[in-house]
Chains A and B, each alone.
Chain A
Amino acid sequence: MNLDNTAGLDLKNVNIHYGDFHAVHELSMDFQSREVTALIGPSGCGKSTLLRSLNRMNDLIPSAKTTGEIVFHGKNVYDTDVDPVQVRRWIGMVFQKPNPFPKSIFENVAWGARINGYKGDMEELVVTSIQRVALWDEVKDKLQKPALALSGGQQQRLCIARTIAVQPQIILMDEPTSALDPISTAKIEDLLDELKKSYTIIIVTHNMQQAGRVSDKSAFMLTGVLEEFGTTNEIFFNPKNPKTEAYISGRFG
């Protein structure tokens, strides 16, 4: 087994149901290591549902049922002997609305690492993590102040910092900038270029221009079905599927 520093995810015949509702149909695709892959598509197409299944966050919703294989380092994360808590430690998540803990800025970053047994220099880890999300200059002299006092864009960058402090291999992002202003959005998009050097990033976005700006590959979904998957250039400028073409050119969505 060749273990890179980061890894990808191989999906085979993934089906996701919410009770009777079939949200994702027979989906197979591969997420490559150290790339940014965007999941795009209109509202309700199942992209967020799919994303949440990758780190077993869907387990928290009682009516959700996932079948198929989502393979990480050769192991299906849905096997019965796999611990969802551990899955989330290796596959991190940044949410749509920034949700820092009601604690200090320092604690926000340190807490996740601590409960996962980090025994190294905590201060160094916190500082490095905050620096890597380009937040350091803005918070360096108020690490003990409450995180909730930061602006929306700063909070979201802090959430990214806390995610990478745990040192995952894959980072999932569920429309991370949709609640932010354009300047904060731009700052975070710039981050992605740096972050993909160390992590595999899968980002859900309903903003096509954003997908075009940040991603290497794109996957277009429509009503739970993967319609087309390829490099971002192909998807945007030379789509093979007419539905993709219709979405890209704005005829619906």
Chain B
Amino acid sequence: MTPEVKVSENVAALLKKPLRPGEDFIQVLLVACALVSVLTTVGIILALLGDALRFFATPGFSWWDFLTGTYWEPGSGHFGILALITGTLMTSLVAMVVAVPVGMAIGIYLSEYASARVSRVLKPVLEILAGIPSIVYGYFAINFVTPSLQAMMGDLVKPLNALSAGIVMGILILPLIASMAEDALGAVPKSLKQAGFAMGATKLEVALHITLPAATSGIVAAIILGLSRAIGETMIVALAAGSFPRVSFNPLGSVDTMTGYIVRTSGGDIPQTSIEYMGIFAIGLTLFLITLGLNMMSRRIIEHFREVYE
């Protein structure tokens, strides 16, 4: 009736840890997998530093010129990275001017107003926009946006210009901002909103004066992340923004960005020992540090300033 359980005489042996080499081996394997990601970062840093340092050590290079010079032409001794940075900043700023207001408006709308029916249409649209590869946006910029701008403003708009690239980049980024804003707003406890409604506030007043400020940290983080994305974006600017590596503040004309320059220069067949080649890595290093800084700032803001309600 009751099942016989065979228990050996030596209980200590019974409970002893058996050798489980399989378990240990698997654990080692898993740690190795996790270390690959560490190796990746090490690889990136080495890859960038290697040639960047060689670049900085080239005779004729001056840090002063690097940081303040106004045009980038290493072959003829001009090392002004500002030229590329202003290009990047211009296109990114245009992108943010497009993406932030539109993205936030959509985020507020989705979070506070939209019915299920509208959400069901709008959300997939946003996901599709976010999923379109940037090269497609680049094509769109030179074949549709630039001609449209030219139709509107005539000759002022050059065939390759920062405005087109920026606008299209904005469209690329706005789904990111919209969804992060929506998440941030959705995380605000309902009790806060209900307190507002209970005082007789309208939906708009609750959304703008209560919910929005309560989600500030999430929204600021979203904007910084969007900026970082814009700065690192390559194909749109490579196709549409131009190749004019001098400091310029005219959005209707050609500019050069850090990413565009790298792609253009490395796409060709330049010798590995040339100064242009090494220069790419110096630019890459700068780009890496800028985006890393922005990303870390964004995460810091979420972690440290996250409003605590409960």
Binding site for B on A (CB under 8 A): 1, 3, 5-6, 72-75, 77, 81-83, 86-87, 90, 128, 167, 169, 197-198
Q: Is B14 an interface residue (CB 8 A)?
A: yes
Known: A5-B4, A167-B3, A198-B3. A72 touches B11 (CB 8 A): yes
- B residues 5-25 in Cβ contact with A at 8 Å: 5, 7, 9, 11-12, 14-18
Residues of chain B lying within 8 A (CB to CB) of residue A87: 15
Report the Cα distance A83→B13, complex, angstroms: 10
Query: Which B residues are within 8 Å of any A CB, using their own CB?
Result: 2-5, 7, 9, 11-12, 14-18
Cα–Cα, bound, A215→B40 (Å) = 60
Cβ–Cβ < 8 Å partners of B17 in chain A: 81-83, 86
- For the complex formed, measure the closest distance between the CB of A92 and the CB atoms of chain B, giving whole angstroms: 12
The verdict on A86 contacting B16 (CB below 8 Å), with A5-B4, A169-B5, A197-B2 known, is yes
CA distance A135 to B241 in the complex (A): 72
Q: Are B12 and A3 in contact (CB-based, < 8 A)?
A: no
Complex contact A73–B5 (CB within 8 A): no
Is A81's CB under 8 angstroms from B5's CB?
no
Do the beta carbons of A75 and B15 come within 8 Å of each other? Answer: yes
Residues of A within 8 Å of B15, CB to CB, are: 72, 75, 77, 82-83, 86-87, 90
Q: CA separation between A72 and B11, bound complex, in Å?
A: 9
Q: Pick the 6 closest A-B CB pairs, nearest first.
A: A83-B17, A73-B11, A198-B2, A82-B15, A167-B5, A86-B15
Secondary structure dominating the interface of B: loop
The 12 sampled A-B contact pairs (Cβ below 8 Å) are: A3-B9, A73-B14, A81-B12, A81-B16, A81-B17, A82-B15, A83-B18, A86-B14, A86-B16, A128-B3, A167-B3, A197-B2
- Which residue of A has the minimal Cβ distance to B8? A3
Which residues of the other chain, B, contact A6 by a CB distance below 8 angstroms? 5
Q: Find chain B residues with CB under 8 A from A81 CB.
A: 12, 16-17
B3: A residues at CB distance < 8 A = 128, 167, 198
Minimum CB–CB distance from A76 to chain B (whole Å) comes to 10
Residue of B nearest to A195 (CB): B2
- Identity of the chain A residue whose Cβ is nearest the Cβ of B3 in the assembled complex: A167
CA distance A5 to B6 in the complex (A): 8
Chain A hits for B5, CB < 8 A: 5-6, 167, 169
- Measured between alpha carbons, how far is A5 from B16 in the docked complex, in Å? 20
| A117–chain B nearest beta-carbon distance, Å | 11
Question: Quick one: closest A residue to B11, CB to CB?
Answer: A73
Chain B contacts for A83, CB-based, 8 A: 15-18
* Contacting pair A74 B16 (CB below 8 A): no
Are B11 and A74 interface neighbours, CB within 8 A? yes
Residues of A within 8 A of B16 (CB): 81-83, 86
**How far, in angstroms, from A197 to B3 measured CA to CA in the complex?**
11
Complex: chain A residue closest to B5, CB-CB? A167
Closest to A199 in B: B2
Contacts of A74 in B (CB 8 A): 11
Most central of B5, B7, B15 by chain A CB within 10 Å: B15
**How far, in whole Å, are A5 and B3 apart by their CA atoms in the complex?**
9
Assembled-state Cα–Cα distance A72/B18 (Å): 18
Contacts of B12 on A, CB cut-off 8 Å?
Answer: 75, 81
Closest chain B CB from A157 CB (angstroms): 18
Q: How far is the CB of B160 from chain A (nearest CB, A)?
A: 57
**Distance, CA A78 to CA B5, complexed state (A):** 23
Query: How far apart sit A72 and B15, CA to CA, in the bound complex (Å)?
Result: 10
**Do the beta carbons of B2 and A5 come within 8 Å of each other?**
yes
**Whole-angstrom distance between the alpha carbons of A90 and B9 in the complex?**
15
Known interface pairs A82-B16, A86-B15; 13 further A-B residue pairs with C-beta atoms within 8 A, sorted by A's residue number:
A1-B9, A1-B11, A3-B7, A3-B11, A5-B5, A73-B7, A73-B11, A73-B14, A81-B16, A82-B17, A83-B16, A86-B17, A198-B3
Chain B residues whose CB sits within 8 angstroms of the CB of A128 once the complex forms = 3
Q: Which residues of chain B are within 8 angstroms of A77 by Cβ–Cβ distance?
A: 15
CB distance from A120 to the nearest CB of B (A): 10
Please give, as numbers and ranges, the residues of chain B lying within 8 Å of A82 by CB-CB distance: 15-17
A192 to chain B, nearest CB (A): 15
Measured CB to CB, the closest approach of chain A to B38, in angstroms, equals 23
Residues of B within 8 A of A86 (CB): 14-18
Residues of A within 8 A of B9 (CB): 1, 3
A86 to B14, CA, bound (A): 8
